[in-house]
Amino acid sequence: MSIDTEKYQEILRELAGKATLVAVSKTKPVEDILDLYALGQRDFGENYVQELKDKYELLPKDIRWHYIGHLQSNKVKYIAPFVHLIHGVDSLSLLKEINKQGSKNNRIIDCLLQVYIAKEETKFGLDSHELETILKTELAEFKNIRICGLMGMASFSNNMDLVSSEFNYLKTLFDEYAVSPTANCQLETLSMGMSADFEFAIAAGSNMIRIGSLVLVVEISITKIRTCFVVL
Ligand SMILES: *Cc1c(COP(=O)(O)O)cnc(C)c1O
């Protein structure tokens, strides 16, 4: 087994129901997902469209699939029939495409807008000005999407003061826009925090964390090491 059951349960206790844990299962086998599923986990996150689609087809249908990677417009159609929440929306044109595919599938697709909060050169996300532009756009005609929150990734850094300040900044933006909901834009979900920094994210007000490596561990098994020696 390559899930860390103890760690998983420890995190759930820490969250005490106040935040949703999305188990990030990218590159991990379906067996690991089923092990977590057996413990009651239902929210899983994936980064790659094809992998997500394959896993969706193989696995129980009550899993809530979160798409957490960078999504290209031409791939929205593959996940539109079933995706539970798209975390990384970072342009109006992507939002339009999600709306179009939502309409084709006769469903309303929940989305989070990704905000760029790190001080380092990570590639994706809106700055505060672009965020404002999207949120002030007339979204009423987009009947098949719902913007239900924001998502962000802090700097990959050991400087936890920096990480905390980035999370606090995103929480401030979230609070600012949460006060004026419209028909299809109600900011309720704040997706921030990963294995290395989720405690800081929770302290800053996150209510959805995305946890991969802490729970779904990469196991180097003794048998595999032995096999290597035999081959050598
Ligand atoms: C991989 C990934 C995670 C999980 O990262 P861990 O450090 O393994 O917890 C969370 N969010 C996004 C967007 C990711 O790509």
pTM: 0.93
H helix runs in the chain, sequence order: 5-15, 30-38, 49-58, 76-79, 92-104, 128-136, 160-178, 198-204, 222-231
What is the Å distance from ligand 1's center to 165 Cα?
A: 19
Domain count, the chain: 1
Determine the atom of ligand 1 nearest the C-alpha atom of 196: 7
For the chain, percent of residues with pLDDT exceeding 90: 86
Q: Convert the pLDDT of each residue in 176-193 to its tens digit.
A: 999 989 989 999 999 999
CATH number at residue 136: 3.20.20.10
Q: Mean per-residue pLDDT for 45-57?
A: 98
Instruction: Tell me, yes or no, whether 166 lies in a domain.
Output: yes
Is position 232 within any domain?
no
Residue 150, in any domain of the structure: yes
**What is the distance in A from the centroid of ligand 1 to the CA of 25?**
9
Is residue 143 assigned to a domain? Answer: yes
Tell me if 210 CB under 6 Å of ligand 1: yes
Q: Place 121 in a pLDDT band, splitting at 50, 70 and 90.
A: confident
Segments forming the whole domain that contains residue 59: 5-227
Please give the single-letter amino acid code of residue 103: S
**43 in any annotated domain:** yes
Cβ of 66 less than 6 Å from ligand 1: no
Q: How far is the CA of 60 from the centre of ligand 1 (A)?
A: 23
Query: Distance, CA 24 to ligand 1 centroid (Å)?
Result: 6
Provide the phi-psi class of 85: left if phi over 0, else alpha when psi is between -120 and 50, else beta.
Answer: beta
Ligand 1 pocket test, pick from 3, 7, 11, 24 with the greatest ligand atom count within 8 Å of Cβ, gives: 24
Q: Answer yes or no: is 31 within a domain.
A: yes
